[in-house]
Chain A
Amino acid sequence: MTTETTTQAVIEARNLDLVFQTNDGPVQALRDVNLTINKGDFVSFIGPSGCGKTTFLRVMAALEQPTGGEITVNGMSPDEARRQRAYGYVFQASGLYPWRNIARNITLPLEIMGYSKAEQKKRLNEVLELVELSGFEGKYPWQLSGGMQQRASIARALAFEADILLMDEPFGALDEIVRDHLNEQLLKLWARTNKTIAFVTHSIPEAVYLSTRIVVMSPRPGRITDVIESPLPKERPLDIRDSPEFIEIAHRVREGLRAGHGDDV
């Protein structure tokens, strides 16, 4: 590792281990995970169910405590980073509050963090525009489609200016057309805001289309089996998915997944 990349590192995991103690005995959710995510990276995590993707993301967010190894976020412990509100987290379900309209859902973190009313309004309008939801701020969540709700939850994570965005299968429950559209939007948003994004997905095309780096994981115990650097340019129209480079990376990801699976499936 050169000094240059370490100075840019936003998230660094070294020999990370996490064992859950369950009633059926210990479950090794993460074993010896090493990864560096640099500023401005878009890193996707892909792997079969139960390989520890969510757990890894939750460790970054200080929602789980690792049982071994080290991890730093912005050079500090994840918990310190959490207290400095270094990241926004997007869950698989939008988790919007049914009793708040879209505007008040998006400003929820701002209220909690004590932003002024004027600042809240300003940021609300900015992020509404980023996720193309302007005009819907007065609607309640149940009046919006699933895709719009998920966009609102992304806006909520963007509203306070955290540099890191942690996204756990944010589009997992959406149909393909909506998903394509949101992927395109997400890329634009990433280019405009220069955030560092960690993104969990089950979809190979989604991972390849979005990422600068794809982390392939495998289960029992959860570990990283391959890290693939994407040669694709930052500018990515949807039809890039038909290009030979794209297909080649997708192929490599698939191979990685298959190797990790072993004879299990």
Chain B
Amino acid sequence: MKTMVAVLTVLTVIIAFWYAACLPMNIKGVLTQAERAGAEVVPVGAKERRDLGAIGLVLGNQFAIAATWSQDRPRLPAPHQVAVELWKTTGAMVLKGKPMSKRSLIFHGWVTLSATLLGFAMGTGLGILLAVGIVHSKVMDMSVMPWAIVSQTIPIIALAPMIIVVLYSVGVQGILPKAIISAYLSFFPVVVGMVKGLRSPDAMQLDLLRTYNASANQGFWALRLPASMPYLFTSLKIGIAASLVGAIVGELPTGAVAGLGARLLGGSYYGQTVQIWSALFAAAILAACLVALLGVIERVVLKRMGMSA
């Protein structure tokens, strides 16, 4: 109950702040339009207003306040505008029986999600394999780990176009390049978390296995792998969010026509800020759902393993 109140309070504050921010952000556009429509605006003339402070304009033209929240192409759309757009492009589409239409965020979301999931699976698999290698072989630890770290210091936004161009030149296109960018971002947290997890058993537990004359392989399955599970899940939650970012970034440089990234790009071409924001929110909601889903799986798995005490 208490947490509920806290969460709602924070949410209310954010939304209130957002509405307030719409005033100075949108006032100039609103006033220009109002003036054109014949309203009395202080001061007169867009040129005069250009150098004035936005807050002063809001105070001087209070009649225009409501309009800052309902523009067609605001600089900053108001929360309800984004919400309406989200509904129109998701729920309303479903009700109309066209959930997969080109205008539907469900369609675009699915395009991005499928690349995300594929990339996440590839990244996780690669991450686990690398971690196992690193833990078992000192040579791999010394040779692979630095490259894994370096790989994450290159801005993905610079790398993504190159990956896509290179893959295109060898005939790979469609979902795979996006998934590869997505995997590129998600393998790293998995490597780091898994290495830590696989190394988490203490010296005593390793000594105990030694007294049984257990092989490295037996030690891996009986001790290291189960001990790494909590670490793995923490990494997976970071990894899936990174995967989604990767898939969206992968949609930007190709001028893709489908996917949340394409919606972002299209929105910015045509100044459709409401569309940009609703795509952003769709991405955030999708990420939250994916992370929450992993949280549920984590709870179930750890509980079944008896580790949820």
Q: Do A and B bind each other?
A: yes
Contact A63 B212 (CB under 8 A): no
Chain B 203-244 interface 0/1 with A at a Cβ cutoff of 8 Å (1 = within): 011011111111000100011001101000000000000000
Interface residues of B in 288-309 (CB under 8 A from A): 305-307, 309
Residue of B nearest to A85 (CB): B213
Chain A 138-180 interface 0/1 with B at a Cβ cutoff of 8 Å (1 = within): 0010100000000000000000100000000000000000000
Contact A112 B214 (CB under 8 A): yes
**In the complex, A150 Cα to B209 Cα: how many Å?**
17
A-B contact count (CB 8 A): 56
Q: How far is the CB of B120 from chain A (nearest CB, A)?
A: 25
Instruction: Give the residues in chain A near B218, CB-CB below 8 Å.
Output: 112
Say which size band chain A's interface belongs to: 20 to 34
Residue of A nearest to B213 (CB): A83
CB within 8 Å for A95 and B306 given contacts A82-B213, A85-B213: no
**In the complex, A146 Cα to B207 Cα: how many Å?**
21
Interface residues of A in 57-86 (CB under 8 A from B): 58, 61-63, 82-83, 85
Residue of B nearest to A166 (CB): B211
Mostly helix, strand, loop or mixed at chain B's interface? helix
Contact B305 A87 (CB under 8 A): no
**In the complex, A261 Cα to B40 Cα: how many Å?**
98
Contact A95 B211 (CB under 8 A): no
Confirm or deny: A188 has a beta carbon within 8 angstroms of a beta carbon on chain B: no
Point out the residue from A63, A99, A111 that lies within 8 Å of B305, measured CB to CB.
A99
Contact A111 B309 (CB under 8 A): no
**In the complex, A85 Cα to B214 Cα: how many Å?**
10
Point out the residue from A91, A101, A140 that lies within 8 Å of B309, measured CB to CB.
A140
Confirm or deny: A93 has a beta carbon within 8 angstroms of a beta carbon on chain B: yes
Contact A112 B209 (CB under 8 A): yes
Q: How far is the CB of B226 from chain A (nearest CB, A)?
A: 5
Instruction: Give the residues in chain A near B229, CB-CB below 8 Å.
Output: 99
Chain A 86-108 interface 0/1 with B at a Cβ cutoff of 8 Å (1 = within): 01110101010111110000001
**In the complex, A108 Cα to B212 Cα: how many Å?**
9
**In the complex, A97 Cα to B227 Cα: how many Å?**
9
Total count of chain B residues near the partner, CB < 8 A: 20
**In the complex, A88 Cα to B213 Cα: how many Å?**
11
Contact B204 A93 (CB under 8 A): yes
Confirm or deny: A1 has a beta carbon within 8 angstroms of a beta carbon on chain B: no
Between B208, B214, B218, the greatest number of chain A beta carbons within 10 A of the residue's beta carbon is seen for B208
Q: How far is the CB of A205 from chain B (nearest CB, A)?
A: 27
Confirm or deny: A118 has a beta carbon within 8 angstroms of a beta carbon on chain B: no
Confirm or deny: A265 has a beta carbon within 8 angstroms of a beta carbon on chain B: no
**In the complex, A111 Cα to B205 Cα: how many Å?**
16
Point out the residue from A63, A83, A99, A160 that lies within 8 Å of B207, measured CB to CB.
A63
Q: How far is the CB of B64 from chain A (nearest CB, A)?
A: 63
**In the complex, A192 Cα to B223 Cα: how many Å?**
32
Contact A82 B226 (CB under 8 A): no
Instruction: Give the residues in chain A near B226, CB-CB below 8 Å.
Output: 97, 99
Give me 20 A-to-B residue pairs in the complex whose CB atoms sit less than 8 angstroms apart, sorted by A's number. A58-B207, A82-B211, A85-B212, A89-B207, A91-B204, A95-B208, A97-B223, A97-B226, A98-B306, A98-B309, A99-B305, A99-B307, A100-B306, A108-B212, A108-B222, A109-B212, A111-B222, A112-B209, A112-B214, A140-B306
Other contacts beyond A83-B213, A91-B207: 19, CB < 8 A = A58-B207, A61-B211, A62-B210, A63-B210, A63-B211, A87-B211, A89-B207, A89-B208, A89-B211, A91-B204, A97-B223, A97-B226, A97-B227, A99-B227, A99-B307, A108-B222, A111-B222, A112-B218, A140-B309
- Which B residues form the contact surface with A (CB < 8 A)? 204-205, 207-214, 218, 222-223, 226-227, 229, 305-307, 309
Closest 3 pairs (CB-CB, A-B): A142-B309, A99-B305, A140-B306
